[in-house]
């Protein structure tokens, strides 16, 4: 599956600035398309149906000329050779396809933008949470420090007071607990 779906007209060398001003009929489709664009904004589903994980592998462009862009419409080259039959553009089916695609494009871009916004917001949220966590760590560290100091102090007092008695009232060595690694 690699052939163009509907582009059977040969594409040769085309200047990047095609479609010079020209008159063209087809007033009906005009009305249609405009009428379609008129509505503020159709529901526009929000569920991202397709993940599309793999990278868009651009088709092998053996031709040095990338693709001569699709800015406007396929037209003729300076040679005068027509690349895209104008009849196509007048086709009702063509217009319908274009309209549908245009809608799809809008939808896709909207989603893309929304996603970017969401990601940015996620960053903000995570940053806030990080701050909360850091604060908590600071608090716990301090609490731990105080407790350890208290422990050490008590141990010393105990030693000073006990020594005269000639025996420790407690086999456990409080200093042991206070020696716990404070880091990590």
Find the part of the chain contacting DNA (CB under 7 A) among 104-112, 125-133, 155-163, 176-184: 104-112
Binding mask 30-69 for a second copy (x = CB under 8 A): x--xx--xx-------------------------xxx-xx
Distance CA 12, CA 77 (A): 8
3-state DSSP of the chain: CCCCCCCCCCCCCCCCCCCCCCCCCCHHHHHHHHHHHCCCCCCCCCCCCCCCCCCCCCCCCCCCCCCCCCCCCCCECCCCCECCCHHHHHCHHHHHHHHHHHHHHHHHHHHHHHHHHHHHHHHHHHHHHHHHHHHHHHHHHHHHHHHHHHHHHHHHHHHHHHHHHCCCCCCCCHHHHHCCCCCC
Binding mask 93-132 for a second copy (x = CB under 8 A): --x--xx--x-------------x--xx-xx--xx-xx--
Find the part of the chain contacting a second copy (CB under 8 A) among 19-27, 42-50, 52-60: 19-27
Residue 91 touches which of a second copy, DNA, none (Cβ within 5-8 Å per kind):
none
Contact positions with DNA (CB under 7 A) in 151-180: none
Residue 10 touches which of a second copy, DNA, none (Cβ within 5-8 Å per kind):
none
Residue 65 touches which of DNA, a second copy, none (Cβ within 5-8 Å per kind):
a second copy
Least distance (Å) between residue 3 CB and a second copy: 22
What interhelical angle do 27-37 and 92-165 show, nearest 10?
20
Cβ closer to DNA: 12 or 141? 12
- For position 57 contacting DNA by CB under 7 A, the verdict is yes
- For position 81 contacting DNA by CB under 7 A, the verdict is no
Dihedrals φ, ψ of 60, to 5°?
Answer: -55, 110
Least distance (Å) between residue 79 CB and DNA: 18
């Amino acid at each position: 599956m690699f052939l163009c779906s509907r582009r059977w007209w040969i594409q040769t060398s085309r200047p990047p600035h095609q479609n010079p001003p020209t008159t063209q009929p087809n007033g009906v489709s005009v009305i249609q398309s405009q009428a379609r664009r008129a509505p503020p904004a159709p529901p526009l589903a929000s569920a991202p149906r397709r993940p599309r994980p793999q990278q868009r592998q651009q088709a092998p462009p053996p031709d040095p000329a990338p693709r001569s862009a699709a800015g406007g419409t396929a037209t003729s080259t300076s040679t005068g050779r027509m690349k895209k039959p104008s009849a196509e553009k007048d086709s009702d089916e063509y217009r319908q396809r274009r309209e549908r695609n245009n809608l799809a494009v809008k939808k896709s871009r909207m989603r893309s933008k929304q996603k970017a916004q969401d990601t940015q917001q996620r960053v903000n949220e995570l940053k806030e949470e990080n701050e909360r966590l850091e604060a908590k760590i600071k608090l716990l560290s301090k609490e731990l420090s105080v407790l350890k100091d208290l422990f050490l102090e008590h141990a010393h007092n105990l030693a000073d007071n006990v020594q005269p008695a000639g025996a420790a009232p407690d086999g456990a060595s409080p200093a042991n607990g206070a020696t716990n690694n404070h880091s990590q």
